[in-house]
């Protein structure tokens, strides 16, 4: 059976709405960058983000999504994504990935960053740098004339040539009037394959990069994704819109 993947094209009016939603996401990161420190609990970060979202007349997009219980996903060290905020305190040397989704007037924003807690070791710094650069490389490939898996391939090639691995079990996605729309956007794949990119497509690109094996498992809380080998992982995500030229990053102030 052949299943058509339909990728919605957004009008410039809709992209303006998505920019507003994503601006809230970006504001939250500006605040959290100043807040993340040794001793802070992940629940405190969650409270701050939720308050900011509600104050701006928006709704946390993750909370209640498949019964997810919080506003943020906060994933520390070997946690890859979907860590649930709680009483755990950040400590010096940790790396902490924070993911947030916002629904403003029915339009969704979604982004993630990985931050250091105090001084971190060189390998962790490198892991974070390579992951952030992987996202930038993906964004550069996200242009009219390219195909979807050109993005995937470029990310994978960059990450693996730096000795790290890309997570296979979780992927980026289209985004708009839903948090997750078609297409799925793997961080691995073959150049020259996949749907052609067109102006007005809006994607959440989100490389998840591991120090060791790409394999992951899910903890008994049903959410927290951790590396199978216990080595660390980093995650960066932006919501972007395909334009005539360079993709526009919506989740940036």
Q: How far is the CB of 65 from ligand MF3 (least distance, A)?
A: 4
Residues 82-141 that bind ligand MF3 (CB under 6 A): 82, 99, 110, 112
The site for ligand MF3, by CB under 6 A, has a size of 13
204 binds Co ion (CB under 5 A): yes
SS3 235: strand
Whether the CB-CB separation of 44 and 37 falls below 8 Å is answered with: no
110 binds Co ion (CB under 5 A): yes
CB atoms within 10 A of CB 222: 11
Q: How far is the CB of 184 from ligand MF3 (least distance, A)?
A: 10
What residue 150 binds from ligand MF3, Co ion, none (CB within 5 to 8 A, per partner kind)?
none
Q: Where are the alpha helices (DSSP H) in 36-162?
A: 42-55, 122-141, 148-161
Phi, psi at 166, each rounded to 5° = -100, 140
Instruction: Look up residue 90 and give its two tokens.
Output: 């950040």
Q: Which of 73, 234, 241, 250 binds ligand MF3 (CB under 6 A)?
A: 73
238 binds ligand MF3 (CB under 6 A): no
Cβ proximity to Co ion: between 50 and 110 the closer is 110
Instruction: Look up residue 19 and give its two tokens.
Output: 């920019």
Q: How far is the CB of 204 from Co ion (least distance, A)?
A: 4
Cβ proximity to ligand MF3: between 101 and 194 the closer is 101
- Residue that is written with structure tokens 């729309």 in the block: 181
CA 148 distance to own-chain centroid = 17
Strands 79-81 and 225-227: antiparallel
Q: How many CA atoms lie within 13 A of 96 on its CB side?
A: 29
79 binds ligand MF3 (CB under 6 A): no
Q: Which residues bind Co ion (CB under 5 A)?
A: 110, 204
Q: Which residues bind ligand MF3 (CB under 6 A)?
A: 62, 65-66, 68, 73, 82, 99, 110, 112, 173, 204, 206, 237
């Amino acid at each position: 059976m052949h299943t058509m993947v339909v990728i919605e094209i957004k009008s410039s009016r809709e992209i303006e709405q998505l920019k507003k939603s994503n601006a809230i996401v970006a504001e939250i990161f500006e605040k959290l960058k100043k807040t993340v420190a040794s001793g802070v609990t992940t629940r405190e970060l969650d409270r701050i983000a939720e308050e900011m979202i509600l104050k701006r007349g928006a709704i946390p997009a993750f909370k209640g999504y498949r019964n997810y219980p919080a506003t943020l996903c906060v994933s520390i060290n070997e946690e890859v994504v979907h860590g649930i905020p709680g009483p755990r305190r950040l400590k010096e040397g940790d790396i902490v990935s924070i993911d947030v989704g916002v629904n403003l007037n029915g339009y969704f924003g979604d982004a993630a960053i990985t931050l250091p807690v105090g001084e971190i070791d060189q390998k962790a710094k490198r892991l974070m740098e390579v992951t952030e650069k992987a996202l930038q490389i993906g964004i550069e490939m996200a242009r009219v004339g390219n195909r979807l898996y050109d993005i995937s391939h470029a990310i994978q090639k960059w990450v693996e040539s730096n000795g790290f691995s890309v997570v296979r079990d979780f992927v980026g996605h289209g985004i708009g009037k839903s948090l997750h729309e078609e297409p799925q956007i793997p961080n691995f794949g073959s150049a020259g394959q996949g749907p052609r990119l067109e102006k007005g497509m809006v994607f959440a690109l989100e490389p998840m990069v591991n120090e060791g094996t790409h394999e992951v498992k899910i903890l008994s809380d049903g959410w927290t994704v951790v590396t199978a080998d216990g080595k660390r992982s980093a995650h960066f995500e932006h919501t972007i819109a395909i334009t005539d030229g360079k993709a526009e990053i919506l989740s940036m102030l």
